[in-house]
Chains A and B, each alone.
Chain A
Amino acid sequence: MITYEWLYVLAGVAFAVWAVLSAKDRRWGNAAFWALLSASFFSGSHLSDLANGVLVLALVAIAGLGGLKRSDPPTTSPEERQAHAARLGNRLFLPALVVPLTAVAGTLLYTYTPLGQTGLFEARRETLILFGIGVLAALAGTMVWLRPPLMAPAEEGRRLIDSIGWAAILPQMLAALGAVFAIAGVGDIIGGVARGVIPEGSVFLTVVVFAAGMAGFTMIMGNAFAAFPVMATAIGIPLLIQQYGGNPAVIGAVGMLAGFCGTLLTPMAANFNIVPAALLELKDQNAVIRQQIGTAVPLWAVNVIIIYVGAFLLWS
């Protein structure tokens, strides 16, 4: 059976190669950072929790001291790229499409045909595993088709990962922060505070506090999934459903979407908001969030109205 461990070995190899190339380039900070991450992928499952924790502290120390720099491996010039693009045409898009198509078509096939009963992939892990297979297929196909220098994919990959830098592990680090918040009971405290500010007897204002709590707590956690159980058990279920008799399906579904509006507004949702700013080499780290404010705020208000109308006015 193919499990996530296989993917971790693949990622471990990629980061190890980037560490070696960084060392050859005398970028010691980058080399140490990618080597530690590679070690985490290779042996994280066999290390103690404390050893993994110390590894995290070491990664953060390197990034915090400014040890990560952009790199500039040899590549083609803009003119050469223009010439290649003219010669190769739209066929260039094919390898880029292989990866998502493998992931999506593979998942559909695996889920809705007898293939799923073969137990080839770890349960519920098939999409990411198929993504990995798609990457390998696209890489092999492109190497055979274009015949670049053997180290070209490694060097081009290093250029991109170094331009992303520390932001590459921020989403994973934020997930770890969410786990610590959960252990410390932050959700219960927030739920209690939110209940405390609700005025007695007003259905509309309770909907507003529920939706604001979803968006606000999502902004803090960077993730609506962490906010939903807290707000649903603090306000949504006891007040909106049990006390005021609202429609549970609307409160659940649209409450979650009010949280998604918060995701658009926070640097804590790093993989959606900070990572693309790095990937696109934007000067302002918050440039993507700035473009999202004008959509997220009115859409949040629309969600409040949908909950009020759909769960109460139309329901009763």
Chain B
Amino acid sequence: MNYWPLAGIAIVVLGFALRFNPLLVVVSAALATGVLAGLDLVAVIEALGKAFNDNRYISVTWIILPVIGLLERYGLQQRARGMIEGMRGATMGRLLVAYLAFRQLASALGMKDIGGHAQAVRPLVAPMAEAAAVKTHGDLPDHARDEVKAMAAATDNVGLFFGEDIFFAIASILLIQGVFESAGYPLTPLQLSLWAIPTALCAFAIHAWRVLAFDRRLGRGRR
């Protein structure tokens, strides 16, 4: 077997590790992989162009930015912070655990488009988490604020990934069903989505515990 196409993977790993521009890394890896698999360079560029063009729908979602930017101009982030500051008993840990539960449940019911980084995390969840952390622990240095915001984004990801497969009409469930059916094992989407529940519960337990531990650690760092 020709193992040379794997050089593309090595380029990706090295390129990211050495902090070259990721777009440059990805395209170099694509060109190297194609050429090492025995395609000629023009054919690889054509394949790359076709695939980039076929996947334009991924980048369409940026059309939401004017809406978010406009609301930020009128104080959306400030309002999100103010709401948390006015709430008694609101801590960063409790807030993110609540958001995790909300995101998992909504995704499990098929509403995975509620939430997301541009729509919810940047304008709402991250400022709220930051405000709650400052409220409990006092003023925080920049690196601690960055950690809080990163944890808000991480919570959105965990909630989405380990909620969405409980909904049976989702792309990943259909993909599993398709692969197994063509191998002669017909499964119903419901069988698959039921087996997503144990992992979902463990994901909630693990991540909720980590978020609360992170909140306590922030507090200790200040004293």
Using C-beta atoms within 8 Å of the partner chain, give the interface range for chain A.
Answer: 35 or more
Q: Answer yes or no: A110 CB below 8 A from chain B CBs.
A: no
**Chain B residues with CB below 8 A from A14, complex form:** 62-63, 65-66
Query: B161 contacts which chain A residues (CB < 8 A)?
Result: 257, 260, 263-264
Interface bits A19-46 vs B (CB < 8 Å: 1, else 0): 0000000000000000001001100110
Shortest Cβ distance from residue B157 to the other chain A in the assembled complex, whole angstroms: 5
A273 to chain B, nearest CB (A): 8
Cβ of A148 within 8 Å of any chain B Cβ, yes or no, is: yes
Whether A183 and B39, one on each chain, are in contact in the complex, defined by CB atoms closer than 8 angstroms, is yes
Interfacial chain A residues near B22, Cβ < 8 Å: 166-167, 170, 267, 270, 274
Q: Mark B172-185, 1 if CB is under 8 A from A, else 0.
A: 11011101100101
Task: Considering the complex, give the chain A residue whose CB is closest to the CB of B152.
Answer: A280
Q: A167 — nearest CB in chain B belongs to which residue?
A: B22
With A7-B60, A60-B24, A135-B67 given, is the CB distance from A96 to B119 under 8 Å? yes
Chain A hits for B84, CB < 8 A? none
A63 touches B198 (CB 8 A): no
**Contact bitstring B55-87, A, C-beta under 8 A = 1, else 0:** 111111111111111111111111110110000
Within 134-190 of A, Cβ neighbours of B (below 8 Å) are at 135, 138-139, 142-143, 146, 148, 152-157, 159-161, 164, 166-181, 183-186, 189-190
Q: Is A220 in contact with chain B by the CB < 8 A criterion?
A: yes
User: Contact at A299–B1, with CB atoms within 8 Å?
Assistant: no
Docked Cα-Cα span, A102 to B98, in Å, equals 24
Check B60 against A139 for contact (C-beta < 8 Å). no
Select the residue from A60, A80, A93, A184 with max chain B CB neighbours within 10 A: A184
The contact of A303 among B9, B177, B199, by CB within 8 Å, is B199
Contact A92–B75 (Cβ < 8 Å): yes
Task: Quote the shortest CB–CB distance from A221 to chain B (angstroms).
Answer: 9
| B-to-A contact residues, CB < 8 Å | 1-3, 5-6, 8-9, 12-13, 16, 21-24, 26-27, 29-30, 33-34, 36-37, 39, 42, 44-80, 82-83, 110-111, 113-124, 126, 142-143, 146-147, 149-154, 156-158, 161-162, 165, 171-173, 175-177, 179-180, 183, 185, 187, 191-196, 198-199, 202-203, 206-207, 210, 214
